[in-house]
Structure 1
């Protein structure tokens, strides 16, 4: 039987387990994918802790899959699916699966993987890459303006920095001192995170894309004359609206995935996959992200399906 890394109840790392599961069967509008790579994101451990996405209702069924973005090869298609066939290389956000050997994707938020994009890079795009793309475009800043990105050293952050640069924006990235070289290599001005970080930001910030939330979001808001140019992926809508800003509006379409993948294919975006882990070490991969030590993006590569 195929394996999956799951959480068996809400809680901390002790709730996680590698188990055997039934191979999923695609329903109408779905494709079954043999997972070649799965991206690791902060939302994964937050869901394990009990976080509910806006719109989530009902009781969560356990065991619950960890993982929110995958890339792989189509094994089978459900009723009414056009444009996908067994053997196709695809990526998207799973409705079943994640850190697993098999996953189900909906055709509504899946896209063909370009040949020039690796499975590991493609697996960073449905959540991290697309969230970065959505937030930077939502700000709508003109070329030459300055955008501040908090949490700039993580998976969404490194993508946001690069996407902003492709739009001609000047970027200030807030991240730990250990990530200074990474931030500067992407063409951004580095500001060390930690107490008093806002006082270290150069003057003239026109927009903020926050990926941290909490007091970091509150401090970032003080840097703006126009609070409508405050967008967050790190805090709830209520928190950011109280400051005059907005939550990032995600665009979950195949077309949006294709746009982000094209940036990777053309070399404008490097997802900065700094480490990969096999499925039986998925817990280590998640710990690196949960503890904030990850530089760039971490990806799980199920050994059974690895190319």
Structure 2
């Protein structure tokens, strides 16, 4: 039976386990793929802890971990067009990515360009697509200044690069340990910690035109105070009510294959580097998730599944 990494109830790392599971069958609008790589994201351990995405029902245990994958189509479900067995694809999972086989939602699956590796492709559906959606939502003019909090993580690194590719000046908030990394992305590094606003004002005396927050809490509130126009405040790091109270909004996710095509082209064109810091085999999926859960990862972590 195919192998997978699952959680058996809501809770901490103690709920995780390697398991043999049935090979899934694609339902209407789904693709079955043989997984070649799976991206690891903070949302993976948050879901294990009990977080639920809007509109999702109760979890049915065991739940396979992972939200994004790249691989080869094995079969297609009813109503799926544009995909056939053997196609190389990447997208958002309908059944968990840390596995030898998984289901993808055809509506949020794209064909992988030949010049894009499976490993790089597996990083795009969550982090890069979230970054792309947010920068597009802000709709800042070329030459404007964007403040990105949490700039050293997967979404943050992608946000900085996409914003730079679209002609924006970027200030990236991250720890001192991530200074060189943030600057390598093309951003002006601003150290995180108390008195953040003062350091931002020193780095951008003319002010900031937009804020893309990936942290929430006090960081979000302090960053909001730097904006004259709160409609240019968005977050993927705080709850809707928290950012709404500050006059801003959550990132509006498009969740379309067209966005995946766009971010893939940015990678192929050299404007977006997923910055994969480490890869792990499937049988070390627990270590991959710990590397993300500890919060100190630079860029992206990917699980590679042997053929």
Q: Which TM class, normalised by the smaller chain length?
A: over 0.9
Aligned residues: 303
In structure 1, how many angstroms separate the alpha carbons of the residues matched to 2:80 and 2:105? 9
Offset at residue 79 of structure 1 (A): 2.1
Offset at residue 195 of structure 1 (A): 2.3
Partner of 1:39: 39
> Residues 241-288 of structure 1, C-alpha deviation per residue, up to 9 Å, x if partnerless?
000000000001111111111111111111111110111111111111
Q: Mind listing any 5+ residue stretches in structure 1 that lack a counterpart?
A: none
Query: Superposed, which structure 2 residues align to 1:284-295 within 5 Å?
Result: 284-295=287-298
> Residues 219-242 of structure 1, C-alpha deviation per residue, up to 9 Å, x if partnerless?
111111111100000111111000
Q: Secondary structure at the match of 2:75?
A: strand
Offset at residue 197 of structure 1 (A): 2.4
Q: Secondary structure at the match of 2:277?
A: strand
Partner of 1:139: 138
> Residues 38-78 of structure 1, C-alpha deviation per residue, up to 9 Å, x if partnerless?
00111111111111111223x21111111111000111112
Partner of 2:154: 155
Indicate the RMSD between aligned Cα atoms, in angstroms. 0.9
In structure 1, how many angstroms separate the alpha carbons of the residues matched to 2:94 and 2:196? 39
Query: Superposed, which structure 2 residues align to 1:12-27 within 5 Å?
Result: 12-27=12-27
Partner of 1:209: 212
Partner of 2:113: 114
Query: Superposed, which structure 2 residues align to 1:138-287 within 5 Å?
Result: 138-201=137-200, 202=203, 203=205, 204-287=207-290
In structure 2, how many angstroms separate the alpha carbons of the residues matched to 1:71 and 1:20? 20
In structure 1, how many angstroms separate the alpha carbons of the residues matched to 2:100 and 2:127? 21
Q: Secondary structure at the match of 2:34?
A: strand
Partner of 1:87: 86
Offset at residue 196 of structure 1 (A): 2.3
In structure 2, how many angstroms separate the alpha carbons of the residues matched to 1:129 and 1:145? 21
Q: Secondary structure at the match of 2:94?
A: strand
Partner of 2:76: 77
Partner of 2:99: 100
**TM-score, normalising length: structure 1:** 0.97
In structure 2, how many angstroms separate the alpha carbons of the residues matched to 1:186 and 1:97? 30
In structure 1, how many angstroms separate the alpha carbons of the residues matched to 2:43 and 2:296? 15
In structure 1, how many angstroms separate the alpha carbons of the residues matched to 2:230 and 2:79? 45
**TM-score, normalising length: structure 2:** 0.97
> Residues 107-162 of structure 1, C-alpha deviation per residue, up to 9 Å, x if partnerless?
11101001111111111111000000000111111011100001100100110000
In structure 1, how many angstroms separate the alpha carbons of the residues matched to 2:292 and 2:129? 18
> Residues 152-174 of structure 1, C-alpha deviation per residue, up to 9 Å, x if partnerless?
00100110000000110000001
Q: Secondary structure at the match of 2:146?
A: strand
Offset at residue 200 of structure 1 (A): 1.1
Q: Secondary structure at the match of 1:231?
A: strand
